[in-house]
Amino acid sequence: MSQLGAFFDNVWVDAFWRLLVVLGLMVFVVLALTYVERKFIGRIQMRLGPMRTGPYGVFQPIADMMKILLKEDLRPASADRLAFELAPFLAFVPVFLTLLVLPFTARWSVRVLDLGLLYFLAVSGLTVLGYIVAGWASDSKYALIGAMRTAAQLISYEVPLVLAVLALSMLAGSLNLVAIVRDQGRVPFIIWQPLGFFLFMAAAVSDLTRRPFDVAAAESEVAGGPWIEYSGIRWSILYALTEYTNMFALCVLASLIFLGGWDWPLGLKWGWPWQLVLMFGKTMTLILVIMWINATFPRVRVDQLMSFCWKLLLPLAFAQIFLNGLVLVYHWPDWTFLVTSGVTLLVAGYVVYTRLPLGAPSRIVARSAV
Amino acid sequence: MTAPHEGPQEAPIVPPEPGTIADLFREALPDIEFVASQGPVDVMLTIDRKDVLQVLRTAKDDPQLDLKYLRCLLGVDHEEAGLEVVYQLYSFTHGHGVTLKTRLPQDDPRVASAASVWKGADWLERETAEMFGIVFEGHPNPVPLLLPDDMTDHHPLRKDNPLAQVEEWQGSRLGAAAANVGHVPAGYESIAGEGGEPEGPSGESGG
Amino acid sequence: MLGVLRGMAETFRTMVRKPVTIQYPTAHRELPERERGYPLLLWDAEVGEPFCTGCHACERACPTECISVIMKDNPLAAEGQSKRRKIVDQFLLDYGRCIRCRICVETCNFSAIAMNNTWSGHEMSRYDRRELVMDLEQLLARSRDGGFTPWVAP
Amino acid sequence: MVTEQERKLETIDINVNVGPQHPATHGVFRMVLTVSGERVVDVVPHIGYMHRGAEKLSENVDYRQGLIYQDRTEYLAQFNAEMCYCMAVERLAGLEPPERAQYIRIILSELNRITSHYMFIGAFATDTGVYGTAFTYAFREREYIQEIFDALTGDRMMYGYFRPGGVVWDVPADFKERVRWVCGQTRVGIDDIDRLLTTNEIFITRCRDIGVISRPDAIDYGLSGPMLRACGLPFDLRRNDPYSIYDRFEFDIPTGTHGDVYDRYLVRMEEMRQSVRIVEQALEQMPDGPIMPEKAPRRLRLPPGEVYMRTENPRGEYGIYLVSKGGEKPYRLKIRSACLSNLTALKQMIVGHYVADAVVILGSVDIVLGEVDR
C-alpha cells in the first residue's frame, strides 16, 4: 500500500495521471457542450434540437465525433502543406495548456502556480497564432480575411482582458488562483468589481469569437473564416475542440476569480463534492449566458468591433484599475469598490446609450383612401 | 403554335381620346411624328427609331411630361414586321404613364441606348440586347446579362429560335406503342380538344 | 443598452415556450384535404375498371408534358358490363417531371385523375429517376385498394 | 500621414468572389468584390445562374398553363405574381372577376406580402449575423400563413390558384376564421421580431447610414417598392395607380427618411402591419357569390392587343407586358422584375463600404433570384 502511495507521490506519475484526468475532462466537456449548445439554441429558436440519436439526442455529439473522425481530411492543392496541417495543433495546444493551472476544487488541480493567472493569460494568448497560420496556409481569400480579422480581434481584446484581471488581482493581492479564491470566502469579487466582470466577459466573448464579436468566423461574410478550407478531424480540432475548450477554460477562470470559485458559499466547510457542484454550476451558468448572447445578437462590424475595444473597453479597464488604486491607497472601506465600479459601469452604459446615433424612427406617411 | 388559319394578327390602332399624354408629347416635340394608340391601360406612342433618344430625353426633362421613371424596357420580335423596343415611362409628379414603342428592321436592329438618360436602363438594355440581338448604340457596357458571355450566336427570345424538344422519360417505356401517343381515334376529338381542333403532339409546340 | 436587454428577454421568453417543430419522418403534420401530392388515377369499383378513358385531355393540358396515354377499345363494353366504349390502355406519368399544378385534374372530363392528398403523394424519393415514371398499375393501386378519397373541387 | 516605411509596403486590392454559393447571396447571385483591406472599392454583380427562360416558356403554353410559371418566377410572392398575370390577361380578354374573387385575391396577396417580408426579415437578420434566431421566429410566423395557403390551394409554394377571370375554386368553410386568427397572430409575431431586432443597438449600428441611396438616384435607377419608399417617396401602386379593388381599403404607406438599410427594414416591418389592416378590412367586406364570371370560356382566346399590367409586389413593381396576336398563347410575355431593377443600384450602394456591409446591403435589396433571372 505504501509502495503504491509512493508510486503516486512520484512527481512524474502524479503529473501524468492528473493530465490524463484533465484530458478526459476536456473531451467530455467538448462533447457535452456541443450537445448543450445545440439543444439550448434549439430551444431559444423554438426548435427541438437534436432528437434522433439516443433519448433526446444525447448521443448526438458521439455520432458527430464518429462522422468527423471518418471524414476525409481534405487539403487544398495550393495550400502550404506543413503550415496547413500544423495550424490546428498550434491553436489547440495553448488552450489545453491553460487547463493545467485551473483548480477545480480546493485541493485538486494539475499544478498550482503562484503566477497561475499570468500563466493562463500568457498561454491562452497564443491561440491566435494557430488561426493566423491556418488562414494563411489555406490559400483562400475568405480564410485570409478571416485570419486577419482574428489577428486584429484577439490581440486587441487581450488587452482589456488582461487589464480587467489585473484590476482584480489588485484586490486579491495575488496572482495565485487558489489564493484569489480563498480571498473571496466572504464576498465574491463580482460584487466588488461589476465593471471588471463586465469587461472580462465582453473580452472573453470576443476571445471566443462568438456573437456579437464573431467577425472572424462570420458565416454570412467570410463563410467560416480561417477554418473554411478545413474538414474532418482537423476542422474539429481547430474549431470545435479549441473553441469549446477555450470557452470552458475561460468560464472556469471567470467563476474562480469573480464568482468565488469552489469556496463561496460554504465550499471549504462542506467538502469537495459541494465544491465540484459549485464550480460546475457557476461555470455552466456563464457558458449558458455566453450561448444565450450568441443566439440573440447580430454581429458587429469590424471597425465597430475595434472601436468597442479601444474606445470603450480599454478606457474602462484603466478606470477600473485607477479606481481600485484609489480605494487601496486611501484605505477606503470595501464597499467603495462596489460603488465606484458600479457607478462607472452605469455611467458608461448610459453614455453609450445616449451617444449612439439612434435618432428618430422613420416617418410614416399616413394618407387614407376613400 | 396557334392553329394555322388564325395567323398572327396585329392589334387595331385605336386613337386615344384628346387630352391624353399623346397631346403633351406632340406639344413638346412638334417636329416628331407620333402614332398614338389607346391601349387597355396606357396610351401607346410609336416613334421612329432615329428620334428615340431625343424623345426619351424630352420625356424625362420636359416639365409637362416629367416622365422621370423608366419602369420597363423590353423587346418584342414581330418576325417580318421587325423588332420592337418598348419603353414604359411613368411620372411621379403628374401620375401619368406612357408606352413608347419603336420598330427596328430585323436585318439592322440598331437603336440609340437610353443608358445615358436613365441609369436603370443599363441592365434592361443588356438583357434586351442578348435576348433579341438588338444593338443599343452607345451602351457603356454591352455584355450579356443573364446569358453566358460566349452565347452570342443565337438570341433566345426571337421567334426563329424555338424551344428544344422535350425529352420524355415516360416515352421510352412505351416501346413500339410510343408511336400511338397523342393519337386520337375518330369520334373523340370533341372530348380531347375541349371544343378545339386536334393539335399535333404536344412536343411540337415549340414553333 | 435597453434594446440589447430587450432582445435577451425576448429570446428567454421564447425559450420557455413550447417548440413549434416536430420530428418530421417519425411524426407527420396533418395534411389538408386539398393537398396536392402527385396525381393518381381513380378506380371505378362499381364496374371494375379505371375511370380513365384515355382521352388525352390531360396529356394536352399538361404544361410539362409528363403524361403519355394510349387508348384502346374497352373489352368490358363489348360484353355490355361497362358504358365506356374506350378505355385507357397505357398511362405513363413521370413524377420526376410533374409539377403538381393540378391542371390535369381540372381538365379531366371523367374525374378519372386526382391529386394524392396523403403523405404518400409527397414522399417519393427514389434512387433512379426512371423509377419515377409510373405506369397504369402503380397509378391505380391506391384507389383500387381503397382508403384514398380524392378531394373534389366545390 | 503616410510614412516612408508605409509607402514602401506594397498593398494590392484583392478580388473576393462572393457567390454563387455563399451563405449571404440568397440563392445563386454572384458578386465579385474588389476589396482594399476591408473596404470595397468595386463590385461586379453577375446574375443569370437561374435563368430558366420563363418568358420564352410562357410564349409556348396557353394562358392557364402560363400561370404556373409565375409561381416559379416569383417564388416568394406567388399570389402577387399570379394576380399581375391574371389581370394582364383579363385586361386583354375583357374579363371582369366577380367581387368575391377580387376579395379573395386581395386577401391572399396581402397575406403573401406578409410571408414574403417575413422571409426578408429572417434572411436579412441572418446577414447581419443573428444566429438563425430571427430566422426561425420569422419562419414560425410565416408557417401559420403558409398553412392557410396549403389548406386553400393544396400546395405550400406553387399555388397556381388564381385564374384569368377569378380563382379556381372557393375557399374552405373555416377560411375567414383562420385568416382572422392569423391576423392577430401576425401582429404578435411582428412585435416579437420588433423586440428582438428593431431596437437592438447592435442591429441599429449595423444598419444605419449604410447603403444610402438618394431619391433622385433611386428614381433614375428605377428602384421600386420598399427600396423606393425608404428614400422618402410615398409611391405605392396600390395607392397611386390603383388596381383591382385596392381603392376600397384604408391603409398607410410607410416611407423612410434616409434611404438607408435600416429604413428599408422599418418600411417593410410597417408594411406588414398595413397588410394586416387591409386583410382585416377585406375580410369584413368580403361578399358571397360566384368566383368566376358566368361566361368564362374554358379555353381562353385573347384578341390581339398589348398591355402592360403592374402590381405592387413585396419587392416592388412587378409588371407583365403581354402581347397577344390572337389565339390561345401569348405572343410575347415580358416580366418586369422589381428585383432586377433594384439590383442595378447595387454598385452605387456598396462601393465604399466594408465587406460586412456589402452583405447587409445586398440583403436589404431582398432579391429573389427566380425573379431576377426569370
Q: A17-42: per-residue pLDDT in tens?
A: 888 888 898 888 888 998 998 888 88
Euclidean distance between CA atoms A80 and A103, whole angstroms: 39
Mean pLDDT of chain D: 87
A65 and A87 housed in the same domain: no
| Whether B41 and D308 lie within 8 Å, measured CB to CB | yes
Euclidean distance between CA atoms D140 and D146, whole angstroms: 10
| Whether B88 and D321 lie within 8 Å, measured CB to CB | yes
Task: Please check whether residue A46 touches C, CB under 8 A.
Answer: yes
Structural domains of chain B sorted by starting position, each given as residue range(s) with its CATH number in brackets: 21-137 (3.30.460.80), 169-201 (no CATH)
Asked if residue C10 is part of any domain, the answer here is: no
Spell out, as residue ranges, where chain B has pLDDT lower than 50. Answer: 1-5, 180, 182-207
Task: Please check whether residue A295 touches C, CB under 8 A.
Answer: yes
**Model-level pTM?**
0.88
A294 close to A33: Cβ distance less than 8 angstroms: no
A27 and A97 housed in the same domain: no
Task: Please check whether residue D170 touches C, CB under 8 A.
Answer: yes
Partnered with residue C70 across adjacent β-strands are C90
HEC string for chain D: CCCHHHHHCCCCCEEEEECCCCCCCCCCCEEEEEEECCEEEEEEEECCCCCCCHHHHHHCCCHHHHHHHHHHHCCCCHHHHHHHHHHHHHHHHCCCCCHHHHHHHHHHHHHHHHHHHHHHHHHHHHHHCCCCHHHHHHHHHHHHHHHHHHHHHCCCCCCCCEECCEECCCCCCCHHHHHHHHHHHHHHHHHHHHHHHHCCHHHHHHHCCCCCCCHHHHHHHCCCCHHHHCCCCCCCHHHHCCCCCHHHCCCCEECCCCCCHHHHHHHHHHHHHHHHHHHHHHHHHCCCCCCCCCCCCCCCCCCCEEEEEEEEECCEEEEEEEEECCCCCCCEEEEECHHHHHHHCHHHHHCCCEHHHHHHHHHHHCCCHHHHHC
Min Cα distance C137 → chain B (Å) is 14
- Of D129, D133, D252, which is closest to A299 when you measure between CB atoms? D129
Look at chain C and report how many structural domains it folds into.
1
A143 and A175 housed in the same domain: yes
Which DSSP string do the residues of A27-83 spell out, in sequence order? HHHHHHHHHHHHHHHHHHTT-----SSSGGGTTHHHHHHHHHHHS-----TTS-HHH
A86 and A66 housed in the same domain: no
Min Cα distance A136 → chain D (Å) is 15
Mean pLDDT of chain A: 84
Asked if residue C57 is part of any domain, the answer here is: yes
Q: C118-154: per-residue pLDDT in tens?
A: 888 888 888 877 778 888 888 888 888 877 888 887 7
A22 and A158 housed in the same domain: no
Asked if residue C13 is part of any domain, the answer here is: no
Asked if residue A107 is part of any domain, the answer here is: yes
Residue C18 per-residue DSSP state: P
Task: Please check whether residue A48 touches C, CB under 8 A.
Answer: yes
Cβ–Cβ contacts within 10 Å for residue B177, how many? 13
Q: Which domain holds residue C127?
A: 35-144
Structural domains of chain D sorted by starting position, each given as residue range(s) with its CATH number in brackets: 4-373 (1.10.645.10)
| Whether D219 and B148 lie within 8 Å, measured CB to CB | no
Task: Please check whether residue C135 touches B, CB under 8 A.
Answer: yes
Task: Please check whether residue D137 touches C, CB under 8 A.
Answer: yes
- Of C65, C96, C97, which is closest to B202 when you measure between CB atoms? C65
- The CA R_g of chain C, rounded to the nearest whole Å, is 22
Q: B66-125: per-residue pLDDT in tens?
A: 888 888 898 888 888 888 899 988 888 888 888 888 988 888 888 888 888 888 888 999
Asked if residue A282 is part of any domain, the answer here is: yes
A293 and A211 housed in the same domain: yes
A290 and A141 housed in the same domain: yes
A26 and A53 housed in the same domain: yes
Domain boundary among A46, A70, A94: A70
pLDDT of residue A54: 82
A357 pLDDT band, cuts 50/70/90, is low
A269 pLDDT band, cuts 50/70/90, is confident
Q: Which three cell numbers stand for residue A324?
A: 481600485
* Closest residue in D to B120 (Cα–Cα): D221
Q: Are B and A close enough to touch, i.e. 3+ CB pairs under 8 angstroms?
A: no
A243 and A290 housed in the same domain: yes
Contacts of C23 in chain A (CB under 8 A): 48, 51-52
pLDDT of residue A1: 55
A22 and A165 housed in the same domain: no
- Of B181, B185, B192, which is closest to C68 when you measure between CB atoms? B181
| Whether A297 and C14 lie within 8 Å, measured CB to CB | no
Contacts of B202 in chain C (CB under 8 A): 59-60, 62, 65
Euclidean distance between CA atoms C133 and C131, whole angstroms: 5
Q: Which three cell numbers stand for residue A339?
A: 460603488
Q: D93-103: per-residue pLDDT in tens?
A: 888 888 889 99
Euclidean distance between CA atoms A74 and A72, whole angstroms: 6
Tell me the mean pLDDT in the region C83-96: 82
Could you tell me the CATH number of the domain that includes residue C67?
A: 3.30.70.3270
The H-or-E segment that residue B79 falls in is none
D199 close to C6: Cβ distance less than 8 angstroms: yes
Subunits with at least 3 CB pairs below 8 A relative to chain B?
C, D
Lowest-pLDDT choice from A181-185, A310-314, B123-127: A181-185
Q: D173-213: per-residue pLDDT in tens?
A: 888 899 999 999 999 888 888 888 888 888 888 888 888 88
Contacts of C36 in chain D (CB under 8 A): 153-155
Task: Please check whether residue A44 touches C, CB under 8 A.
Answer: yes
Contacts of D195 in chain A (CB under 8 A): none
Looking at chain B, how many residues does it have?
Answer: 207
Closest CA to A293 of A231, A262, A251, A355: A251
Min Cα distance D129 → chain A (Å) is 4
Asked if residue A249 is part of any domain, the answer here is: yes
Q: Is pLDDT at A190 greater than 90 in this prediction?
A: no
A99 and A62 housed in the same domain: no
Min Cα distance D9 → chain B (Å) is 35
Min Cα distance B65 → chain C (Å) is 43
Q: Which residues contact residue D142 at a Cβ distance below 8 angstroms, ignoring those fewer than 6 apart?
A: D114, D115, D118, D119, D122
> Who has greater pLDDT, A197 or C73?
A197
Asked if residue C152 is part of any domain, the answer here is: no
Helix (H/G/I), strand (E/B), else coil: C144 = helix
Min Cα distance A198 → chain C (Å) is 13
Look at chain A and report how many structural domains it folds into.
2
| Whether C135 and B174 lie within 8 Å, measured CB to CB | no
Partnered with residue B47 across adjacent β-strands are B102
| Whether D196 and C10 lie within 8 Å, measured CB to CB | yes
So what's the ipTM on this one? 0.84
Subunits with at least 3 CB pairs below 8 A relative to chain A?
C, D
Tell me the mean pLDDT in the region A226-253: 86
Asked if residue A246 is part of any domain, the answer here is: yes
A186 and A48 housed in the same domain: no
| Whether D200 and C7 lie within 8 Å, measured CB to CB | yes
- Of A296, A302, A362, which is closest to D266 when you measure between CB atoms? A362
Q: What is the mean pLDDT of each run of 10 residues along chain D (374 residues)?
A: 71 83 82 86 88 87 87 89 90 87 91 92 88 88 90 87 86 89 90 85 84 88 89 85 85 85 88 90 88 78 87 90 86 89 89 87 88 86
D319 close to B86: Cβ distance less than 8 angstroms: no
Helix (H/G/I), strand (E/B), else coil: A323 = helix
> Who has greater pLDDT, A360 or A206?
A206
Euclidean distance between CA atoms D262 and D266, whole angstroms: 6
Q: Is D313 exposed, middle or buried (0-12, 13-18, 19+ CB in 10 A)?
A: buried
| Whether C153 and D168 lie within 8 Å, measured CB to CB | yes
For an interface test with C, give the residue of B166, B170, B180, B191 to mutate (most C CBs within 10 A).
B170
C33 close to C76: Cβ distance less than 8 angstroms: no
Which residue do the cell numbers 482574428 mark? A150
Euclidean distance between CA atoms D125 and D134, whole angstroms: 6
Asked if residue C22 is part of any domain, the answer here is: no
Q: Which domain holds residue A241?
A: 81-352
For an interface test with B, give the residue of D29, D56, D238 to mutate (most B CBs within 10 A).
D56
